[in-house]
Amino acid sequence: MAKHPVPKKKTSKSKRDMRRSHHALVVPNLVDCKNCGNKRLQHQVCPSCGYYDGRAVLKIEAQA
């Protein structure tokens, strides 16, 4: 029979929680677009109007 690797000592709550300290989810930082007012990511072109830093960067066609 094959032997399974088994921990020699119990991992303490402190060690377990320190390992999990980087597992938290991060909420994206959304800002209002100055042109259309929709939410967008910081330092990104607005997906709804195509504006970035007060000027048109992308040409967005109107959806039917």
Domain limits, the chain: 29-64
The pLDDT score that the predictor gives to residue 63 is: 61
The pLDDT score that the predictor gives to residue 61 is: 79
Which residue in the block uniquely carries the two structure tokens 């930082």? Answer: 29
**Global pTM?**
0.58
The pLDDT score that the predictor gives to residue 58 is: 86
The pLDDT score that the predictor gives to residue 44 is: 94
Neighbours of 46 (CB within 10 A): 23
Please name the amino acid found at residue 2: A
Query: DSSP for the chain?
Result: -PPPP--SSPPPHHHHHHHGGG-------EEE-TTT--EEETTS--TTT-EETTEE-S-PPPP-
Average pLDDT per block of 10 residues along the chain, 64 residues long: 89 97 95 93 93 88 66
Please name the amino acid found at residue 53: D
